[in-house]
Amino acid sequence: MNFINQKLTDFKVNAYQQGETHPVTLQDVLGKWSVFFFYPADFSFVCPTELGDLQDHYAEFKQANAEVYSVSEDTEFVHKAWAEATDTIGKVQYPMLADPAGKLARFFGVLDEEAGQAFRGVFIVDPEGQVKSYTINDMGIGRDAGEILRTLQAAQFVEKHGDKVCPAHWHPGDDTITPSLDLVGKI
C-alpha cells in the first residue's frame, strides 16, 4: 500500500513522556508536522541508539515545528521502566507512544503480526494529517535522525514552495530546482 497523502486515521493511545503518562489523539497531532518513529521493542539493542539519536536532534525537530512520536507495541509502563533503567532513554523528552493493540502499527503497515513488533518505520505527516514521506526498514536496520530531519525540512520546503523541488543531499539554504522542460537531460 502506498501511504503518500494518506490521511491519518482517528486514534487514541497512551504516551510516556518525562515521568508522566498522557493520552495522544489524532487531534493532538494535527496543526503541526509530526514524525511517527516506529521501532520493534523497548529494552532492545538498536532501538536505544535510534531513540538517543532522535533526542540529540529533538531541539531541531521542535524548531522545525514538528513533534517526534516514537512508537512501539510496548505499554506506557514499559516505556517508563525503560526510561528509569537506561540513561539513554531517560534523556528522551518527546512522547513515547504505547501501541500494544497495534492500531497505529497496523494503520501504517509496519506490524509484524507474528513477532508482535513493529518494523522500523518513519512517517512524516503534515499539519493536515497527510503522510508526506515514509521509509520502512527490517528489524535490524537502524535509522539516522539527521536524515529524517533533512527529509522533514525538504517536505516542508516543497509544501511551501510547490514550484520548486529539492535535489539529493539538499539542506535548508541550498539551491533547489524549478522543474522545467529546459532542464530535461541537462542535470
Give me the active site residues, please. Answer: 47
Q: Alpha carbon of 170 to those of 119, 158, 166: distances in Å?
A: 27, 12, 6
Three cell numbers written together for 69: 512520536
d(CA 73, CA 103): 9
d(CA 112, CA 109): 9
Helices and strands, counts by H and E, the chain: 7, 9
Backbone dihedral angles phi then psi of residue 157, each to the nearest 5 degrees: -60, -50
Chain centre to alpha carbon of residue 2: 17
Three cell numbers written together for 58: 529533538
Q: Give Cβ neighbours of residue 73 (< 8 Å, ≥ 6 apart).
A: 41, 99, 100, 102, 105, 111, 116, 117, 118
Amino acid at 182: D
